[in-house]
Amino acid sequence: MKTQSKTIKGLVAWILTFIVVVATAIPTWATTNNGTGNLVKLTKDSTTTIYVGTTDNEANKNDILGLYQVIQTTFDEKNNTLTHQFTEEFNKFKQENQKYKDINEDTYMKYEEEQLKAVLGEFAAYVKAHSVEADKTANTGDTGIARFDTVGLGQYIVVGLGSSTGTKIYQTVSVEVQPSVENGEYKLYESYTVDMKTADVPIEKEVTVPSGDNSVSIGDKVTYTVTVGIPTYPAGATNKTFYMGDKMSNGLTFDDASLKVYTDEARKNLLDSEAYTVEKKEDTTNATFYVNFDYDKVVAAGATTLYVVYDAYINENAQVGTVGITNEAKLYYTSNPFDGNTWEPGHDGEEANGEASDTATVYTYGLVIKKYETANENKVLANATFEVYKASDIINEGADATVNSGAKPIATITTDATGYIALNGLAKGTYYLKETKAPSGYNLLTELVQVELTNPTSKITTTNNYKYTSNIEEAMMDVQAQRIVDNTVEYGWLQKDSTKVTWAKNKPGDTYLPAYLLSTETSVSNSENGEAGYEIAKVENSTGAQLPSTGGAGRKVFYIAGPILMVGAGVILVTRKRMEGKDN
């Protein structure tokens, strides 16, 4: 024990506060405690009020904080001196920790900042591990500010007691209740405030699509980038939970082989694969996959921000319309680094009491075309077959527009008895129809028909049926067909020379091969209650030697403004072909 007539040397009010830093990870130390109210003459029984958290630097709301005393200070009124000694609990901590077993108050008060951070961090871990009862507790309430009353002289640490599920994370907070000297007298303020210096955990999700906007076609490969800040857990932390989960909607197929983690925004420096693991989930209730980071290895790599990049394919289950195809990323961490041990994926975040998330959404649309006789729209035309091309497959313009040599259609569509054709799963843009078979008794169109998918707001109800192949070369995408049933992933399998797909979590037998999406068949029904997301276009045709102008690149297309499509109950077959350059 050491007696001295001045405040503890080196124990200026400092706060070790956890901050997730995007650019650089810098530990934050507070300035001195701010005294408020009147300065009152010190007595041996003097106490004060401590406010932990301020308007701009509050703790998590409705959290419980605990105050643990490290040094007890006693005032001798007769001799006007202060005496400082370790508390009984801190002495117990020293006896268990060989590094600090022999330190005394004099040695402790000479510690530099980094030494103080280390010892107080380990003491915080000790009180949590041993379930030590706090000297005082306080609730942060709706303001995020905790009030501790009747606090005596000495040094304390403030530790979160694990009751919060807030997004803010904080380290050990050190509070010194020491008197000021005024006119030769020791005096104590009525209250003191301490900043928490916390920050919300950053996470940002972005998506890159082939179209350049946020619309996609079935078979498209989209790339997601999730930017996450790296925690700076305090010295002595026992819980360094740090992992990311991603939940994809049914319209996305995750390409697990594509996932990479970078330490720079330019994506030139890969994080060592030993610093993380990827787990693809069969039960997708909470996530499609997890990326579990080894916190110490990530920090050792010198990274301050991670960029998780991965691909997914738009599959046949993608929902057409304004609802969109969503993908949510969540960052899991702990707001109480001294509470328990590091948690890993598998608990689906139930034990990771801190979460942050961001969502990216893309959209796909549908095109419906009505084929009818010129000057008689009520006479619809069946059995008109068209090949559908993207604008990038067309050369020249107007009446001279032709399909580029070697281009493959994205679909072949044929009208049924209702005169309608439908094509689901398209990105916004310009498309061209090449008639390859005219209705009986009608002339084959010699010019391409241009259609615009620009404002797909009509409500249509469609039903899709799918065809599959075991030949990946003719498939619409390079990933095995899958579906999600009751939050469980099932994969498509085909026996050799069979077209009937079998859905199962695992390969049903040695004779089965992976199934890939080959084409779709779409039926259109009369409904005004379908999903908004369709463009409806009307195309004319005629008999006789002279073909009228019917639109497009020399043919006129009439767009239906109304949302209701009167087509009866006919079924329209749509054979979708593999897109050329699907991996581009």
> In the chain, pLDDT over 90 holds for what percent of residues?
42
Give the model's confidence band at 535: pLDDT under 50 very low, under 70 low, under 90 confident, else very high. Answer: confident
pLDDT of residue 33: 59
Mean pLDDT value of segment 82-111: 92
Q: Angle at Cα 76 formed by Cα 70 and Cα 81, nearest 5°?
A: 80
pLDDT of residue 582: 46
- Tell me how far CA of residue 259 lies from CA of 225, 254, 276, 289, 516, in angstroms: 10, 9, 11, 11, 21
Domain ranges of the chain: 2-194, 203-362, 365-468+515-576, 481-514
Fold agreement (203-362, 365-468+515-576): yes
- Residue 211 to residue 229: CA distance in whole angstroms: 29
Q: For 346-354, which contacts have Cβ atoms below 8 Å and span 24 or more sequence positions?
A: 348/245, 348/285, 348/286, 348/287, 349/245, 349/286, 351/241, 352/241, 352/243, 353/162, 353/164, 353/165, 354/165, 354/166, 354/167, 354/169, 354/201, 354/241
Residue linked to tokens 């360094």 = 240
Ordered DSSP codes for 224-277: EEEEEEBP-PPTT-S---EEEEEEE-TTEEEEEEEEEEESSTTS-SBPPGGGEE
Residues forming beta bridges with residue 540, ordered by sequence position = 372
| Dihedral angle of Cα 408, 403, 367, 561, to the nearest 10 degrees | 180
Flag whether the pTM goes above 0.85: no
- Residue 422 to residue 520: CA distance in whole angstroms: 11
pLDDT exceeds cutoff 80 at 72:
yes
Count CB neighbours of 511 within 10 A: 11
Q: What is the pLDDT of residues 283-331, one digit of tens each?
A: 888 889 999 999 999 989 988 899 999 999 999 999 998 889 999 999 9
pLDDT of residue 167: 63
CA 262 vs. chain centroid, Å, equals 16
pLDDT exceeds cutoff 90 at 375:
no
- 68 secondary structure, DSSP code: E
Q: What is the pLDDT of residues 429-450, one digit of tens each?
A: 999 999 999 998 898 988 899 9
- Residue 488 to residue 472: CA distance in whole angstroms: 24
Could you tell me which residue, 169 or 404, shows the higher pLDDT? 404
pLDDT of residue 235: 77
User: Strand 180-182 to strand 252-262: parallel, antiparallel, or no bridges (unpaired)?
Assistant: unpaired
pLDDT exceeds cutoff 90 at 60:
no
pLDDT exceeds cutoff 50 at 90:
yes
Ordered DSSP codes for 335-384: S-TTSSS---TTSTTSS--EEEEEEEEEBBEEEEEEEEETTEEEEE----
- Residue 299's φ and ψ, nearest 5 degrees, are -65, -40
Q: Does domain 365-468+515-576 have CATH number 2.60.40.10?
A: yes
Are residues 57 and 339 in contact, defined by beta-carbon separation less than 8 angstroms?
Answer: no
- Tell me how far CA of residue 207 lies from CA of 309, 363, 527, in angstroms: 10, 12, 33
pLDDT of residue 36: 87
Q: Which of 108, 226, 239 is nearest to 174 (CA)?
A: 108
The tokens for 294 are 């080894």
- Residue 418 to residue 346: CA distance in whole angstroms: 52
Q: Which of 36, 348, 357, 68 is nearest to 226 (CA)?
A: 357
Residue linked to tokens 């139930």 = 350
Mean pLDDT value of segment 168-180: 79
Q: What is the pLDDT of residues 117-157, one digit of tens each?
A: 889 989 988 998 888 999 999 998 888 899 999 999 999 99
The CATH number fitting domain 203-362, selected from 3.40.50.150, 2.60.40.740, 3.60.40.10, 2.40.50.70: 2.60.40.740
CA gyration radius for the chain?
34
